[in-house]
Structure 1
Amino acid sequence: MKIVQIGTGGWGKNHARVLSELGVLSAICDVDAQRSKEYGEKYSVNHYTSLDKMMISEEFDGAMVVTPTFTHTTITKKLLESKKHVFVEKPLTYKTEEGEELVKIAGKNKVILTCGYIERFNPAVGVVKNLVKEKKYGDLIMLEFHRENRMPLNIKDIGIIYDTSVHDIDTANWLFDEMPIVVFAKAGKINHKYEDFASIMLGYKENKVAIISSNWITPKKVRTFSAVCSDAIISSDFISQEVKIEKKDETEIPRNEKQEPLLLEIQNFLDSINGEKEQIVKIQEAVNVTKIAEAALLSSQKGIPIYLNLK
């Protein structure tokens, strides 16, 4: 299998590394000529600054699109129309309408289209997902997420909701195994062009709720979440991948093998192309996350809850 990488800045360099480790990286494309050359030579593959030139010159099965969000639609559309399988880093698009257009093109051309919601591949989230599914500690009632850090220097085209909160929006949907029916949010900005802190409440059926707190202000990096079940509180750290279960009279620490989520995520993309495994992040789910992010921004601006009717 041959996979090309489009975009090698910031998070993209990690995708290139994993693709090379898996032996499927076949070419690099980046508008920054120096960076394109650097990674092309590092992994001994052809390198380009033009997507069109790469598509003419290279034979490949799929592509990783790890570029600024405002470029996702144009790049992905071109690849899908050429019947290439595509993995797009989150968020899929700025606008729901653009995401829905990409879904239609992928369906028409019968190719895989997925989005990089990496926390689904975090072993800690997998442990919690299984515990919730089995109802080992009763029903899942509430989720709470904290994702905090200093503002990343490479994020210039979007605010914290689209860049950071979307991870937890997707994880909440996955753990509840349904879509929210209402969103209420408050956000603001201190150091960034766009919002750099936000609190989002997602309301689900039967009064279930997810509370998502994100900011680019806190100097210490925090990536934690907790699941409140009727018989226990399950808490976890996305970074350490540790899980703790607190019951009335005792605390459990399940054994859990630490793994690299990005490796698992990319492997699932490759396996879904081969038809060996089911695609874990369905593309309509990624479109829904964009729609929820849009609703969160609108809620913050208007100071009102936004009601949703998602597929």
Structure 2
Amino acid sequence: MAAPLRAGVLGLGVMGRNHARVLSTLDGVDFIGVFDPAENVPPTVHDRPVFHDLDDFLRAGVDYVVVAAPTVYHLDMGTRLAEAGVHALIEKPVASTAEDARTLRDLFASRGLIGGVGHIERYNPALQAARQKIEDGLIGDIYQVTTRRQGPFPGRIADVGVIKDLATHDIDLTAWVTQQQFVDVNARTTHRSGRPHEDMVLAVGTLSGGAITSHTVNWLTPFKERVTIITGAKGALVADTLTADLTHFENGTVRSEWEQATSFRGVTEGDMTRFALERKEPLRAEHEAFRDSVIAGEPRGIVTLDEGTRVVEIAESMAADGVAHRR
């Protein structure tokens, strides 16, 4: 039996603590600890040490690391890991800028290392099932994808705006679930909370297969919503990633004798089905995929650095277009 992989975490914020929790119980992995330079962090996490010096952390010996530090540090930390020959799962967005993301992508590729990005929505049971239903032809050709991701302001975010923090989820999941790439995007942004970064965005896009998209994302709504609606030729799928529910709305096939109604040539309401799904924690599924990729020496079900870089490129286009239309 192969020895377990040695893995650790960089950064002990909210996501870092969650990554540490999963790694401490993940089969085939020996959790070695966390690096965080802050003075107010505990000395241990899940009975493993918290290192305050990155060199000491690396000398402890790691096969792969989760980078859960603020985005502004991703380039430096990712570079250190690649130079040390360490595989890395980097929280989204992969870097602060598309240029930095491309640098990390190329660096990991040149070293033959596995690099992944923590776009966790891909592992939500509702979206996993939606992707499979689309592949099975349940709703036919995709016409439109609409996402709504809104809620109160998260105090933990200080270095990026709502586009790179939240809209990147929608950029990635839309391209992944449809298996189409964004070919253009237009956006409107606004700043309402007195911060230097945008806190609301409305965006529309076009995908490579002809589908159109719309995305409502903000930090200024007093309720939390995470909904993806995928409309196709034969019906629609509605995924709620807060509850991990997936509902199918079928185009109607019942004939109507009412002349006024039959003059309308669009679709009608058909059967509605809410699927019973196996619900695995998305973060654990993400870790299992990355662990398996490191073992295999090739990406297996992860968000690659190339895909993560493309997300940042689209996000930058979205932000730039939003700024242009505010002038």
Do both proteins adopt the same fold according to a TM-score greater than 0.5, normalized to the shorter chain?
yes
Q: Which amino acid letter does the alignment assign opposite residue 302 of structure 2?
A: I
How high is the TM-score relative to the length of structure 1?
0.93
In structure 1, what is the equivalent of residue 178 of structure 2?
A: 176
Q: How does 1:79-94 map to 2 (within 5 A)?
A: 79-94=81-96
The one-letter amino acid of 1:266's match is: H
User: Post-superposition shift, 1:6?
Assistant: 0.6
Match of 1:302 in 2: 324
1:8 matched to which residue of 2? 12
How many residues are paired up? 300
Give, in angstroms, the shift of residue 279 of structure 1. Answer: 4.0
Q: 1:29 aligned to 2:35?
A: yes
CA contact (8 A) 1:33 1:48 kept: no
1:35 Cα deviation (Å)?
A: 1.3
CA distance in 2, matches of 1:189, 1:297: 12
Structural RMSD (CA)? 1.5
- Percent of pairs identical after alignment? 25
**Post-superposition shift, 1:7?**
0.4
> Which amino acid in the other structure matches residue 275 of structure 1?
A
Structure ranking higher in helix proportion: 1
Alignment of 1:85-234 (within 5 A): 85-191=87-193, 192-234=195-237
- Deviation of 1:153 after TM superposition, in Å, equals 0.4
Contiguous gaps of at least 5 residues in structure 1: 305-311
Query: Cα deviations across residues 88-137 of structure 1 (Å, max 9, x unaligned)?
Result: 00000111121111112111211100000111111110111011112122
Note the C-alpha offset of 1:199: 0.9
**What is the DSSP-based 3-state SS (H/G/I as helix, E as strand, rest coil) of the residue aligned with 2:313?**
helix
Match of 2:261 in 1: none
Task: Name the counterpart of 2:273.
Answer: 252
* Larger Rg belongs to: 2
TM-score between both structures, scaled by the size of structure 2:
0.88
Output the CA distance in 2 between the equivalents of 1:194 and 1:280. Answer: 29
Whole-angstrom CA distance in 1 between matches of 2:39 and 2:289: 30
The answer (yes or no) to whether the contact 1:29–1:36 under 8 Å persists in 2 is no
> Residue 121 of structure 2: SS of its match in structure 1?
helix
Kindly indicate whether residue 294 of structure 2 is the aligned counterpart of residue 273 of structure 1.
yes
